[in-house]
Amino acid sequence: MSVNTRVTTSDGDIGGKSVGELLTWRGIPYAAPPVGPLRLRAPQPVTPWDGVRDATEWGNASVQHKRGTMLSPGKYQPSSEDCLTLNVLAPAKPSVTKRPVMVFIHGGAYTLGTSATPLYGGGSLVRRSLDDSHGIVYVSINYRLGALGYLDLTQFSTPDRRFDANLGLRDQVAALEWVQRNIAEFGGDPDNVTIFGESAGGNAVTTLLATPAAEGLFHRAIAESSAPGLVATHERATEWAQEFVGFLREKDTGGGSMADMLDRADVTSLGRAGTKLAMTVLNRTPGLHPFGPVVDGDYLPKNPLDAVEDGSAHQVPLIIGTNGREGTLFPKLLDALPTNPKRIDTMFELTDPSAKDRVVEAYPGYPNESAAIDVGGDFTFWKPSLELAEAHSRRQPTFSYRFDF
């Protein structure tokens, strides 16, 4: 632990390590571990510590399937409910001015992913920023996933046991609040924070635009391959939560209330019930995903697309875009989109049957596999991203891209 990496945060001192021209701190808690009575509750403050806390190793990944935690062939990051940590990477060379801050939110359909994935390390980004300017400070975060982070179970609260909604979203806000309190100690400028994310992380960015609690916590936003429309209504979320506890009850013999069952369920049981729910929802209503932000009328008052349209979203410059063939990843890795003719037929039956012929006409070769994949990808990512870009551009500088490779 090098002396020059000791930093005093609002919760206590930490010590990181130097890696060439960079300084790194990992596994810094930004909220209390959401375990025991804090399971399914909004993030709570960290208990301060004495001495110097070691910040040289990654914190735990959020609870998820093991495949989402692979760091290299045969090596996996431990996962746990105790996962609310972040990481900071900064140039070792001092700067006379505070550096811009970039906060990365990882993707993974709100069910997979971790900031420890090598691609998200941030080293190349910080080094390249030194070539162009005096550098940036890079922050990456972990947040709760799956049923523990993105299922609205508030209907099962009791007078003695309360559950909160939008937990993963609340985690992201708590991490941004930590940045405001502490990033100056790492050389960062708390008045120049850019949030950016990809896939579910991109959806997190477009959702944070419409989250009142995030006001003033960031000043620019970059949404890469966001699916801005994948935000559930309260009614749908309520139905999904009821189905979820039904799947959970199938394997539970403990009796008592639903709250009791949610408290005693182990993470494996929660994961299996979540997988059943995800496949049930996808096959019944293609294009919808049960794990994600919920318009609860409180923490997230309205759909981000509506908030951007009516001007109530945070007024910050935005970059938003998608990949040329966004849907190609999903049939092979995460079968979660309407990317085959059967699901596409169901999708139009549930929305606007008269539009189907007009839409698929634009995809030569439909209903072949390649064209169907493009329909699902454009429906989920490209079209809503364009809608959001057009609306936001009426009030703020907005830049759009499409990445073809």
- Say if residue 3's pLDDT is above 50: no
pTM value is: 0.96
Q: Tell me, what's the pLDDT at 1?
A: 42
Please write the tens of the pLDDT for every residue from 167-198: 999 999 999 999 999 999 999 999 999 999 99
Percent share of the chain, pLDDT over 70: 99
Spell out the residues 6+ positions from residue 306 whose beta carbon is closer than 8 angstroms to its own.
210
Name residue 320's beta-bridge partners: 223, 400
Name residue 7's beta-bridge partners: 14
Q: How many residues does the chain have?
A: 405
Locus of tokens 């062939």: 73
CA-based nearest residue to 144, from 203, 84, 199: 84
Q: Tell me, what's the pLDDT at 327?
A: 87
Instruction: Please report which confidence band the pLDDT of residue 246 belongs to, taking 50, 70 and 90 as the band edges.
Output: very high
Amino acid at 254: G
Amino acid at 83: C
**What backbone torsions phi and psi does residue 140 show, to the nearest 5 degrees?**
-130, 150
**What backbone torsions phi and psi does residue 191 show, to the nearest 5 degrees?**
-95, 10
Spell out the residues 6+ positions from residue 1 whose beta carbon is closer than 8 angstroms to its own.
15, 16, 17, 52, 54, 56
| CA pair distance 155, 163, nearest whole angstrom | 8
CA-based nearest residue to 126, from 85, 175, 92, 86: 92
Q: What is the mean pLDDT of the chain?
A: 95
For the residues 202-224, what does the mean pLDDT come to? Answer: 98
- Say if residue 2's pLDDT is above 80: no
Q: Is 166 helix (H, G, I), strand (E, B) or coil?
A: coil
Least confident of 21-30, 105-114, 337-346, 392-401: 337-346
For the residues 219-243, what does the mean pLDDT come to? Answer: 96
| CA pair distance 272, 295, nearest whole angstrom | 25
Q: Tell me, what's the pLDDT at 27?
A: 98
Instruction: Please report which confidence band the pLDDT of residue 336 belongs to, taking 50, 70 and 90 as the band edges.
Output: confident
The secondary structure of residue 61, as a DSSP letter, is B
Q: Tell me, what's the pLDDT at 58?
A: 97
- Say if residue 361's pLDDT is above 90: yes
